[in-house]
A and B are shown apart, each in its own frame.
Chain A
């Protein structure tokens, strides 16, 4: 069983993003980037499934600029066996869109004969949460999104997946092959150890392009303008509980 994992390079979660001068997006230059946190969780889950002997090989895919290779190296250092970099100059947070990525992943699933795909539930830049469902649809495979627990069942022919929904926890059984997307509570990703960082250098990385995969990546939507959220106004102090209730009732109209 081969697992395909998607990893995306995004602006680091701790960076305070700024709107770029041309108002067409956030500033990407001189900003720290790292692996999308949900993708880290996907990698961790794949590595755990391999440690449980459920999988024999893990292949990580990253679509993006040259620097996406750094993200792939991180995945390799965490325990992935080899990487595939699909290079594109598109801005990964806006121009590289879920359908195009899903189509490329579908081609790679076919090429690699993967039996399971694990993706993050969303990337923290575009926040679309669409790639995994689109990929499942393109492949005609079952999907379990927002996974918070994964367990192989039926002699590794299916997965029992706990998923978090707005109304509570749901348990699904999906037959393999399948597509999973990972939620935050699925696991805590490991740190890449230093010896594994050194070993990652020697692991193979294949270089591809959207053209080679025969996928048109032209964006279907474009950003017209982007603006900072409005500044929050300072609060006020109230004199008494009565005044507070009055304001909640008559000004804020929340009571």
Chain B
């Protein structure tokens, strides 16, 4: 009776190997006095061991039950508070049990897993950055990065649908909406009973977003706006392939100047609002639905204007910052999984009588991937830990972290396929899917070229000398 138990709730798909330990964890001895210096980047303190003044002293008696003075807690940039650690362990346990097992099938069928999405609502992930009064969890940008990183390790496509809902709709409305709008829409969105998204890009306007053609004009009686135009590449634009999703934040021109953009809440079933087409044959991200949405004299009540008329450009720029942090976190998450998979495979698989990881060519793939993954992760949490969700003007590093991490994720996934050889090229071993998914992160939420443009604009203007 005491053996052979099977912890059913947690008995998800077997992990390839235990999570890579952060070297500063679990140090049983008090850290040396100069540990503070090395704490930020989570570097081991072995190099400084010789300077420790008490290294030769007799250790306290092992069986003393006196509480030993705890070593000063080193700052962990990836989990700055206990709540962040708790969030990460909770999401990871959920992901291993619930997200990993469904990923292959839903991506193959190009289907959105709505029941699983609703479970994210039960956990409190859909309204992660929303105050409790609107049904959210009241957490911060770092928590957003953690949730995206963990979900994306298993299923970037599902995570993309989560991002479109929780950041592009939910967080956007939480930051920019009125109390009445938030009270009306956020509780259902946080619970997952309504699936939302955001409409910015158009068939003819992507990076050149302020060149959008969708326009809103106020009706003569002032009771509503009339929207005309089409929006493209809308994640969660449909859930079932037949109709639109439940509710969207839609950007439209309300004036002649480039920045005369306003934001509207448009609900499913609004007169003149319809699904244009469900987009098929995407390279990756196949378990998230992408659509074109069409507005034909679409009537939107005036109370659905979010913020001020012509005032949405700032909202758009602010929300793009957290969106880019979320997308960078997705790259980091999928890169972690790729490193785990290639490392485990290189250890097990033999060629010429030796494990693959005995060969320098493979060592280079694994080691460079790990180093780049950690560099991306450090940049990600550096940005996330400082990002106040209500602020704006953090564009340089929000662009920068996504620019770096998207490329990093794609290249790490590519090396994972290379290490696995033929097995890497087929779906069952996951890295093939992660490789396809990784490419989207160089396009969605800002192309690499958009990041280049924005960053050089900021660097030219504000950052002649770097700190």
Residues of A within 8 A of B (CB): 12-16, 28-32, 34, 37, 66, 70, 73-74, 77, 87-90, 95, 122, 127, 129, 146, 164-166, 184, 188-189, 191-198, 200-201, 209-211, 217-219
Contacts and interface: CB of A to CB of B under 8 A. Distances in A.
Given A31-B26, A198-B139, 5 more contacts: A14-B10, A127-B2, A164-B1, A184-B5, A219-B63
Interface residues of B, number: 46
B54 to A, nearest CB: 16
Contacts, number: 113
Contacts of B6: 184
B15 A14 contact: yes
Contacts of B137: 193-195, 197-198
Which among B65, B93, B123 has the highest number of chain A CB atoms within 10 Å? B65
Contact of B86 (A66, A192, A209, A210): A192
Contacts of A32: 18-19, 21
B65 A88 contact: yes
Contacts of A201: 82-83
Contacts of B8: 184, 188
A13 B26 contact: no
Interface of B: 1-2, 5-10, 15, 18-19, 21, 23, 25-28, 60, 62-68, 70, 82-83, 85-87, 89-90, 93-94, 122-125, 128, 132, 136-139, 143
B67 A194 contact: no
Which among A30, A194, A197 has the highest number of chain B CB atoms within 10 Å? A194
A209 B123 contact: no
A195 B90 CA distance: 12
A18 to B, nearest CB: 11
Contacts of A146: 1
A212 to B, nearest CB: 10
Contacts of A29: 26-28
A89 B82 contact: no
A197 B67 CA distance: 27
A13 B10 contact: yes
Given A184-B5, A194-B137, A89 B18 contact: no
Which among B21, B62, B86 has the highest number of chain A CB atoms within 10 Å? B86
Nearest to B85: A70
23 contacts: A14-B18, A29-B28, A30-B21, A30-B25, A31-B21, A32-B18, A32-B19, A73-B86, A74-B86, A87-B67, A88-B67, A89-B62, A184-B6, A192-B90, A194-B125, A195-B124, A195-B137, A196-B124, A197-B137, A198-B83, A201-B83, A209-B67, A210-B65
Contacts of A165: 1
A70 to B, nearest CB: 7
A14 B9 CA distance: 12
Which among B122, B124, B136 has the highest number of chain A CB atoms within 10 Å? B124
A95 B62 contact: yes
Contacts of A31: 18, 21, 26
B138 A195 contact: yes
B10 to A, nearest CB: 7
Nearest to B138: A198
Given A191-B90, A193-B122, A129 B5 contact: no
Nearest to A124: B5
Given A127-B2, A164-B1, A194 B139 contact: yes
